[in-house]
Amino acid sequence: MGERPSAREPAASGGATRGPGGLLVVVALREESRAVERALRGHGATVLRTGIGQKLAQEKAARAIEANPPRRVIVAGFGGGLRPGIVAGDVVAASTVCEPSGQEWSAPADLVELAASVRVPECRVVVGRLVTVEKVIATVAAKQALRAATGADAVDMESSGVLRAAAARGIPVLCLRAILDEADFELPFDFGKILTPEGRPRILKALGAVTANPGNLARILPLRRRALLAAERLEQVMAALATRLP
């Protein structure tokens, strides 16, 4: 008996693992790809890891779509909460994705409704508005300002880039963000400065950030717990969703 097709983690260069199922899942980070890979094992999906940011996401998604056009795309990974009441471990299914410039995209209603119908114990799927930005939104004040300017419920750094790539071929896109940090949680560092676009730490910059403000170390463990919870919830929701996709 032959083995079932599986979704395997792509190469660090951002390459994609091909699957025959017509589904392309785009993630930014290794931690996200591992969660998605586990969730989609046996479903024959293609998993693409792009690295951090709109530009990389758009470029690599465009190449993957051109090489092997999927029936649909899911952008999956971590995000930050902007709306009070959205907590770490919630998964936001974006009904709308916008940018601070004012450009926005509406998600296919059937995909959003399908995501919202997923039931996972102790996990909440929230339909909301997602904003894609170019830099990490680290402080509570910056989160409040971004919500006031855009009306967004959550924030990420890749979704609009993937939407641009998919729009060229009219491919439907669903964006799912497992919340890592709430609106009132201050990130201990500007991770945009201490991570490479591939998500690897810049050791000297990381050490400099710790030295500059040693008190931030106390917030690393709570952030780590949030990251583990977000990865678990992302995997659970993706696994449940994969069984429902037509």
By CB atoms closer than 10 A (0-12, 13-18, 19+), residue 212 is exposed
Residue 182 lies in a domain: yes
Tokens of 20: 């025959």
Angle at 164 (CA atoms; ends 51, 74), nearest 5 degrees: 60
Q: Rounded to 5, what percent of the chain is helix, strand, coil?
A: 40, 25, 40
Tokens of 243: 């069984």
pLDDT grade for 172, boundaries at 50, 70 and 90: very high
Tokens of 76: 């999956």
pLDDT grade for 12, boundaries at 50, 70 and 90: very low
Identify which has the larger pLDDT, 35 or 189.
35
What is the per-residue pLDDT for 139? Answer: 92
DSSP string, 25-64: EEESSHHHHHHHHHHHTTS--EEEE--SSHHHHHHHHHHH
What is the per-residue pLDDT for 9? Answer: 37
Range of the domain at 25: 16-187+224-242
Residue 154 lies in a domain: yes
What is the per-residue pLDDT for 226? Answer: 87
The DSSP secondary-structure symbol of 218 reads: G
What distance in Å separates the CA atoms of residue 58 and residue 229, rounded to the nearest whole number? 27
Q: Is 210 helix (H, G, I), strand (E, B) or coil?
A: helix
Residue 176 lies in a domain: yes
pLDDT grade for 224, boundaries at 50, 70 and 90: confident
What distance in Å separates the CA atoms of residue 20 and residue 41, rounded to the nearest whole number? 13
Number of domains within the chain: 1
User: Which CATH number characterizes residue 178's domain?
Assistant: 3.40.50.1580
Residue 210 lies in a domain: no
Q: What average pLDDT does the structure give for the chain?
A: 85
- Name residue 16's amino acid: A
* pTM over the 0.85 mark: no
Residue 202 lies in a domain: no
Would you say residue 17 has pLDDT above 70? no
What's the whole-number mean pLDDT along residues 218-222?
A: 64
What is the per-residue pLDDT for 222? Answer: 73
Report which secondary-structure segment, H or E, holds 227: helix 220-242
Place of tokens 């951002």: 14
Residue 1 lies in a domain: no
What's the whole-number mean pLDDT along residues 94-106?
A: 97
Residue 193 lies in a domain: no
What is the per-residue pLDDT for 187? Answer: 78
pLDDT one-digit tens code per residue, 36-71: 999 999 898 999 999 999 999 999 999 999 999 999
Residue 122 lies in a domain: yes
By CB atoms closer than 10 A (0-12, 13-18, 19+), residue 213 is exposed
What's the whole-number mean pLDDT along residues 230-244?
A: 95
pLDDT one-digit tens code per residue, 116-166: 999 999 899 999 999 999 998 989 999 999 999 999 999 999 999 999 999
Residue 23 to residues 16, 142, 166: CA-CA distances in angstroms? Answer: 12, 35, 12
Q: Report the percent of the chain where pLDDT is more than 70.
A: 78
Q: Is 79 helix (H, G, I), strand (E, B) or coil?
A: strand
What's the whole-number mean pLDDT along residues 192-197?
A: 54
